[in-house]
Amino acid sequence: MHNEFYWNTSDQTKIYTQDWTNHKPIKGVVVLVHGLGEHSNRYQHVAEFFTGAGFSMIGMDLRGHGKSGGQRGHFPSFDILMDDIKQFLEITSNRYPSLPVFLYGHSLGANLVLCYTAKRQPKLAGVIATGLAITFAVPPAKLLIGKITYNLHPTMSLSNGLDRSGLSRDQKVVDAYNNDPLVHDRISARLGIDLIQSGPWLESHKMDLKLPLLVMQGSMDRLVNSRATQAFAQSLTSNVTFKLWEGFYHELHNEPEKQEVLTFILNWMNNHLD
């Protein structure tokens, strides 16, 4: 069963949300936070996999993305995003009371869910982060522009410069991304600098990551530094599982071997149910 609905954030931004469930007894709920420039509907096959295995999945389009309101590719601040995620989790708890909740973030979403976990200390069954970015290779000129406009003109946006060919080894995934009208390439000065700073912030607050974590990365991910992510994950003292997928690109859930990836996540969640 598939449901679509909207809700308003604390600053009255309209957020598009969809959830997938089935009529079997539900073991838990996967709460999705997607990546930069994309939207929740790109994860429909992920939702179908999890619902077929006894979980429900709920995903929102981040503000400035997909069918949600807000300037494309702009967040007023990471703290406001933390509030959005908190509200989203409250909505999830109301829809699925008393069920274990797993917070699943990809790429930008991975940075967001780990920052949220460290800052807000939520009560969750576990957190899943794929395509996490700890360090960023940003052209110096673009970085300088971002720093100058961060406070002076935070909504000024540029192309995110995403190497779309590095999303997946499946060309059909890349073609679908390129032809998707809900995908955009915008990133604002405020979001860009906040995202860059989130990696070092996570490094300095790693002791606050206390929930069970699953961190996964493709070894051939050209969009983020997989070695930096691996070093970060292996330095954590929490209950962390790190999985490096040899030869895989950025979107692990969209690789030709996606069934193996999703099965690995499923098994990890089953092992962390209350």
Residue 5: φ, ψ to 5°: -160, 170
What value does the CA radius of gyration of the chain take, rounded to a whole number of Å?
17
DSSP letters, the chain, are -EEEEEEE-TT--EEEEEEE--SSPP-EEEEEE--TT--GGGGHHHHHHHHHTTEEEEEEPPTTSTTS-SSTT--S-HHHHHHHHHHHHHHHHHHSTT--EEEEEETHHHHHHHHHHHHH----SEEEEES--SS----HHHHHHHHHHHHHSTT-EEE----GGGS-S-HHHHHHHHT-TT---EEEHHHHHHHHHHHHHHHHTGGG--S-EEEEEETT-SSS-HHHHHHHHHH--SSEEEEEETT--S-GGGSTTHHHHHHHHHHHHHTT--
Q: Which amino acid is at 200?
A: P
Domain at 2-270: CATH architecture: 3-Layer(aba) Sandwich (3.40)
Tokens encoding 143: 């970085």
pTM (two decimals): 0.95
Tokens encoding 103: 């917070």
| Contact partners, residue 108, CB within 8 Å, separation at least 6 | 34, 35, 36, 62, 133, 195
Per-residue pLDDT of the chain (274 residues; tens, 9 = 90+): 999 999 999 999 999 999 999 878 899 999 999 999 999 999 999 999 999 999 999 999 999 999 999 999 999 998 999 999 999 999 999 999 999 999 999 999 999 999 999 999 999 999 999 999 998 666 666 666 666 677 778 888 878 888 999 999 999 999 999 999 999 999 998 998 899 889 999 999 999 999 999 999 999 999 999 999 999 999 998 899 999 999 999 999 999 999 999 999 999 999 999 6
Catalogue the active-site residues.
Answer: 107, 221, 250
| Contact partners, residue 155, CB within 8 Å, separation at least 6 | 71, 74, 188, 189, 190
Q: Which amino acid is at 74?
A: H
